[in-house]
Amino acid sequence: MKCPFCGHADTQVIDSRVSEDGASIRRRRRCLHCEKRFTTFETAEVRMPQVVKQNGHRAEYDAGKVYTSFMRALHKRPVSTTLVDAAIERIGHKLLALGEREISSREIGEMVMNELAKLDKVAYVRFASVYRSFQDVSEFSDAIREISHQHSPPQS
């Protein structure tokens, strides 16, 4: 690590400690050239993939947009924000687990639909109607049949 005082490249770590929140490591260092001491922090860098929109534009992943989508679909539905937050967190974990640098907005939309299907069938149909651009009533019927078959208990 380069010394911030003299720019010399050789520094020595004197002390290392995990921060109070456990998310970073605090290191005290000493420059071997000018003998001055300074502190550095080491944190893990986690990067979400870039979202590739249908028009080809790229944007940073924004969990806030996903939250807004959930809230619109769940408007006046009896689903707690705790469950919504957990669903959004699962989507974020799935995106990180993919290990990809880019993901299509379509794939994120499918993840949102899967999570909504678990939370509330009406919200699923609402989201699907906008997401898939339903043009007539038959498409609503198809979505209702789809959600009913996917999430109904097996018959014996």
**pLDDT grade for 20, boundaries at 50, 70 and 90:** confident
Average pLDDT over residues 30-45: 91
Longest C-alpha distance within the chain, in Å?
Answer: 79
Tens of pLDDT along 61-79?
999 999 999 999 999 999 9
Confidence grade of residue 132 (pLDDT, cut at 50, 70, 90): low
The model carries a pTM of 0.62
Dihedral (Cα; 81, 85, 90, 92), 10-degree rounding: 150
Q: What is the pLDDT of residues 135-150, one digit of tens each?
A: 666 676 677 777 766 6
